[in-house]
Amino acid sequence: MLGNNLSTLLALVSATQVAAVPSNCPRRHPPPPFNPICHVTQYTQIPAAVAACTHITLDNIRVPGNRTIDLSKLQRGAKVTFAGTTFWEYAAANYPFIIVSGTDIEITAAPFAVLNGNGPAWWDGLGSNGGRIKPNHFIEVKNVTGCSAIHDIYIKNYPVHCFSITNSVDLDVYRIRLDNAEGYAPNNVSNGLAAAHNSDGFGVASSKQVRIRDSVVVNQDDCVAVTSGDGVVVDNMWCNGSHGLSIGSVGGKSNNIVNNISFTNSIVLNAENGARIKSNSNTTGSISNILFKNIFLENISIYGIDVQQDYLNGGPTGKPTNGVKIQNITMQNIWGTATREGRNYYILCGEGSCSDFTFNNVHVTGGGKPSSCNFRTKGDFDCDGKFVS
């Protein structure tokens, strides 16, 4: 699934990136007094360490089933480092593996550390759509503020969704490796389907000034999905086996406003979709000021470029609705290939709900199904000559 020439693909990552997005977030508060390092080796020691220390190492922690590593009450300026192998034991329950909250905090890992989610114990080919009761999120990052960072972490075999980032401001997430490659193969309960499902890499909602960059995602659902928020930057991503780089789905949630989002300098391989914007049928909301730029696509099986306003989790309706307004969308320098089963381009807008789309130097080829675009864009894009009214 990873392809026969990984070194060439990694070279393409270097070739397409312009510059890593720096953290523009200065420390707003003086660093806290240095408390002695808490070196934690047992799950039961974690609450005391969080209460007492600003420098915490979690070393080879084995987490009991239906238990969470709770980092929601970190002191200002705290740093948490995962070391060795962190492993979650099985429980038939829906709970987060890790919760993170705080101000000016840093979450990272020591060299060669692994966070092993024990995904095969839960995988049944259905993800969050049924079957076994599963932990829906590996890590919930919520109410993180004040120039915080999560970086240099390797996570493998997470059960369903990995990162859920909500209600956070000024957060820099970088050099993360999410590896669910083992989930491509069927198991004895997945009825021939990939065992892992709904394994989104990064989900962002109701957050501002979040940067996700310089990371690798190997999974079975969205690589990065922004469902609400403002000022989110996604840069220099390497996505394999995913559903692509996505806005949405938008509509029908507590927050349905997406503004000022960019996806740049990234590679999407062996995915269902490349660059995607989706709004839910018969809902309301707003998607505006979105940029997809310098994106390489390869082996896309459904849509290379996709904007659709008929989305439902059970499947699109084919009849777009116009309650979610989509405006000021720019796609530039996007190229690559779709499979014979896929379409190069698909735009399905509701009546009067799309405006100011500018597409330039967008070239996806190879799709065996005809492209279809019911909204005419500005720029040199021609939808393979398949603009329809």
- Tokens describing residue 163: 């990162």
Rg, Å, the chain Cα set: 21
Instruction: Point out the catalytic residue in the list 55, 137, 161, 243.
Output: 243
Cβ atoms 196, 218 nearer than 8 A: no
Q: Report the C-alpha gap between 111 and 113 in whole angstroms.
A: 6
Q: Report the C-alpha gap between 339 and 348 in whole angstroms.
A: 20
Residue pLDDT, tens place only, 177-202: 999 999 999 999 999 999 999 999 99
Residue 12 pLDDT > 70: no
Taking residues 89-113, what's their average pLDDT? 99
| Residue 363 falls in the annotated catalytic set | no
Give DSSP secondary structure letters for 181-231: GGGGS--TTTTTS-S--S--SEEEESEEEEEEEEEEEE-SS-SEEE-SEEE
CATH code of the domain occupying 112-385: 2.160.20.10
Residue linked to tokens 């905090």 = 105
Cβ atoms 129, 152 nearer than 8 A: no
Please report the pLDDT score of residue 10 as a whole number: 40
Please report the pLDDT score of residue 59 as a whole number: 99
The DSSP symbol for 121 reads G
Please report the pLDDT score of residue 37 as a whole number: 86
Map residue 10 onto helix, strand or coil. helix
Per-domain boundaries in the chain: 112-385
Taking residues 101-128, what's their average pLDDT? 98
> Residue 218, CB half-sphere, CA atoms under 13 Å: how many?
14
Please report the pLDDT score of residue 9 as a whole number: 42
The pTM (predicted TM-score) of the whole model is 0.93
